[in-house]
Amino acid sequence: MSPNSTSPEPDRKRFTDSGIEIRPVYGPADLEGWDPDQKLGAPGHFPYTRGIREDMYRGRLWTMRQYAGFGTAESTNERFKFLLGAGQTGLSCAFDLPTQMGYDSDHPRSEGEVGKVGVAIDSMADMRLLLADLPLDKVTTSMTINATAAILLLFYQLVAEENGVDSTQLGGTVQNDILKEYVARGTYIYPPRPSMRLVTDTFSYCAENLPAWNTISISGYHIREAGSTAVQEIAFTIANGIAYVEAALAAGLDVDAFAPRLSFFWNAHNNLFEEVAKYRAARRMWAKLMTERFGAKDEKSTLLRFHTQTGGSTLTAQQPENNIVRVTVQAMAAALGGTQSLHTNGFDEALGLPTQRAAKIALRTQQIIGYESGISDTVDPLAGSWFVESLTDEVETAAWEYLERIDALGGAVDAIEAQYMQQEIEQAAYAFAKAVDADEKIVVGVNRFVDEELEPTEVFPIDVDLQRSQVVRVKRVKSERDQSAVAAALADVEAAARGTQNLLVPMKDALAKMATLGEVSDVLRGVFGEFHPNR
- Tell me: pLDDT of 8 over 70: no
pLDDT tens-digit readout, 182-238: 999 899 999 998 999 999 999 999 999 999 999 999 999 999 999 999 999 999 999
pLDDT tens-digit readout, 316-351: 999 999 999 999 999 999 999 999 999 999 999 999
User: What's the mean per-residue pLDDT of the chain?
Assistant: 93
CA distances from 158 to 209, 340, 485, 492 (A): 12, 27, 17, 18
Predicted confidence at residue 460, as pLDDT, reads: 65
pLDDT tens-digit readout, 69-79: 778 899 899 98
Render 495-521 in DSSP notation, one character per residue: HHHHSSS-THHHHHHHHHTT--HHHHH
Q: What percent of the chain has pLDDT over 90?
A: 82
For residue 130, name the pLDDT band (cuts at 50, 70, 90). very high
Q: What is the gyration radius of the CA atoms in the chain, in angstroms?
A: 23
Q: What percent of the chain has pLDDT over 70?
A: 96
For the four alpha carbons of 270, 271, 276 and 280, in that order, the dihedral sign comes to: negative
For residue 355, name the pLDDT band (cuts at 50, 70, 90). confident
Rounded to whole angstroms, the Cα distance separating 519 from 99 reads: 12
- Tell me: pLDDT of 452 over 90: no
Predicted confidence at residue 428, as pLDDT, reads: 97
The CATH number fitting domain 14-374+410-437, selected from 3.20.20.240, 3.40.50.1950, 3.30.70.270, 3.40.50.720? 3.20.20.240
Closest CA to 358 of 55, 47, 67, 28: 67
Predicted confidence at residue 117, as pLDDT, reads: 85
The pLDDT of 237-255, averaged and rounded, is 95
pLDDT tens-digit readout, 463-507: 768 889 999 999 999 999 999 999 999 999 999 999 999 999 999
Closest CA to 25 of 275, 395, 387: 387
Contact criterion met (CB below 8 Å) for 179 and 243: yes
The full set of domain ranges for the chain reads 14-374+410-437
Q: How far apart are the first and last CA of the chain?
A: 48
Predicted confidence at residue 535, as pLDDT, reads: 61
The pLDDT of 96-109, averaged and rounded, is 97
Predicted confidence at residue 462, as pLDDT, reads: 65
pLDDT tens-digit readout, 393-441: 999 999 999 999 999 999 999 999 899 999 999 999 999 999 999 999 9
Predicted confidence at residue 1, as pLDDT, reads: 53
Rounded to whole angstroms, the Cα distance separating 330 from 317 reads: 18
Rounded to whole angstroms, the Cα distance separating 281 from 61 reads: 21
Contact criterion met (CB below 8 Å) for 282 and 47: no
Least trusted range by pLDDT, from 83-87, 365-369, 512-516: 83-87
